[in-house]
Amino acid sequence: MADTHNKEVDQISGVETTGHEWDGLKELNNPLPKWWLYLFYACIVWAVIYWVLYPSWPLVSSYTTGVLGANQRTEAIAAYDKGISDRSVFADKIVAASLEDISTDQELLQFARANGQAAFGDNCAPCHGSGGTGAEGYPNLQDDTWIWGGTLDDIHTTLEFGIRSGHDEARIGEMPAFGRDELLSREEINQVANFVASRAGLETDEGIDLAAGQTVYDDNCAACHGEDLKGIQDVGAPSLLSANYLYGKSLDAIKAQINNPRNGVMPAWVDRLDPATIKSLTVYVHSFGGGQ
C-alpha cells in the first residue's frame, strides 16, 4: 500500500509538489494568497446578504422579493411619474401662454427649447435631420425659405395640421402633373423648364425659345408661383428663385417636377403630441434662425 504521507518536496523552492508531472514539469502546491482567500470569503458573505435583501431566487411562478422589497420596475415607473409631474408645472404654463409670451419669458423659453429639442429628435429628425438642415424632399428649417410661412403662428399651424396629411385643417397645395396628365406637351414642358432655370441662374439647353417658355409659365404657373417667380405662401407655392429647391436644383429636376410632381406629405401632429409639446416644437424650430 502506497504511503500517502510521503510528499515530494521541490529542492529549489522547498515547497511540496502536488504529485502531478508532465514532461518533467511538476506543479508546486503553493497555498492561495491570503488577500485573495479573504476576498473570496467576503464575496460569499456579500452574496448571502444580497440574497436576503434583494430579489434573487427564481420560483415556479414568482421570485424571492428580498427583505427590502426592491423592484427596479416600480422604481423606474416612480421616476417617470416624478418627471411627468415636474414637467407638468412648466407644461401647463406653456399651454396657457401665447407663443409670443413664451419667446419673451426666459424661463419658459428655456424649457420650450429643451422640450422641443427632445421632441424634434423623436419625431422630426428622421425627415428634417437632427439639425433641421433637411434633405431632398424634406425642407431645410434653418434657411429663410418658408413655403407656408415662418412666423411662430405659421409654424404652429403647420405642425398641428400637417401638409396634405388628410386632416380637415391640413395645408393643401398640390402641383398638377402637367406631363403625366397631358396638360402640357413635351415641348411646352421643355420650354417652361428652361425659362424657370434661366431665371434661377441655372444652365439651360441651347436653342430654346425662352419667350415661349415665359408664355407657358404665365398661362399655367404664375397663378401659384407668382408672376415674379417668388412664390405665394397662401397656396404653398415655393419661390422658384430660391437657392434651395426641394427636389433638386437642376434643369432635369425641374423638368421631372413639372412632368410628374412629387407632392410630399407632413403628418398632422395635433392628434399625436400634446399642446405643450407642439408649442415647444414651434419655438424650437423657430429658434433655428430661419424663422420670420
- pLDDT tens-digit map of 56-96: 888 988 888 899 988 888 889 999 999 888 888 889 999 99
Q: Is 176 within a domain?
A: no
List, for residues 169-183, the tens digit of each pLDDT value: 999 989 999 999 999
- Per DSSP, helices labelled H in the chain are 34-53, 72-96, 99-104, 106-123, 125-128, 152-161, 186-199, 210-220, 222-225, 251-259, 275-286
Domain boundary among 47, 70, 93: 70
User: Pick from 70, 91, 116: which residue ends a domain?
Assistant: 70
Asked if residue 292 has pLDDT above 80, the reply is: no
pLDDT at 231 over 60: yes
Q: Do the domain assignments include residue 136? A: yes
Tell whether 22 and 155 lie within a shared domain: no
Same-domain pairing of 275 and 219:
no
Q: Using one digit for the tens of pLDDT, what is the confidence trace for 242-280? A: 877 889 889 999 999 999 999 999 999 999 999 999 999
pLDDT of residue 17 exceeding 50, the answer is: yes
Same domain, 55 and 32: yes
Confidence of residue 291 (pLDDT cuts 50, 70, 90): low
Q: Is residue 243, in this structure, part of any structural domain at all?
A: yes
Q: Are residues 157 and 223 in the same domain?
A: no
pTM value is 0.72
How would residue 156 be classed by pLDDT, with cut points 50, 70 and 90?
very high
| Per-residue pLDDT at 4 exceeds 80 | no
User: Residue 138: helix, strand or coil by DSSP?
Assistant: strand
Residue 38's domain comprises 8-70
Domain count, the chain: 3
Whole-number mean pLDDT of the chain? 91
Q: Which distant-in-sequence residues (6+ apart) come within 8 Å of 162 by Cβ? A: 170, 171, 265, 266, 267, 268, 269
Q: Does residue 117 share a domain with residue 65?
A: no
Find the angle CA(169)-CA(110)-CA(170) to the nearest 5 degrees.
Answer: 5
The answer to whether 116 touches 285, Cβ cutoff 8 Å, is yes
In a domain, 56, yes or no: yes
Note whether residue 78 is domain-resident: no
Is residue 240 over pLDDT 50?
yes
pLDDT at 158 over 50: yes
Instruction: Say yes or no: 201 and 243 in one domain.
Output: yes
Residue 123 has pLDDT above 60, yes or no: yes
Q: Per-residue pLDDT for 2 more than 80?
A: no
Residue 174 lies in a domain: no
Closest CA to 112 of 291, 286, 290, 292: 286
Asked if residue 1 is part of any domain, the answer here is: no
251 and 199 co-located in one domain: yes
CB-based burial, 49-71: b 16+ in 10 Å, e otherwise: eeeeeebeeeeeeeeeebeeeee
271 and 142 part of one domain: yes
Show which of 46, 70, 94 is a domain's final residue: 70
pLDDT > 70 fraction of the chain, expressed in percent and rounded: 97
State yes or no: pLDDT of 27 exceeds 80.
Answer: yes
Are 282 and 160 in the same domain?
yes
The residue-averaged pLDDT of 198-216 equals 94
CATH number of the domain encompassing residue 237:
1.10.760.10
Residues 135 and 279 in one domain: yes
Predicted pLDDT of residue 1 = 45
Note whether 165 and 91 are same-domain residues.
Answer: yes
Q: Do 115 and 234 share a domain, yes or no? A: no
Share of the chain above pLDDT 90, in %: 70
In a domain, 94, yes or no: yes
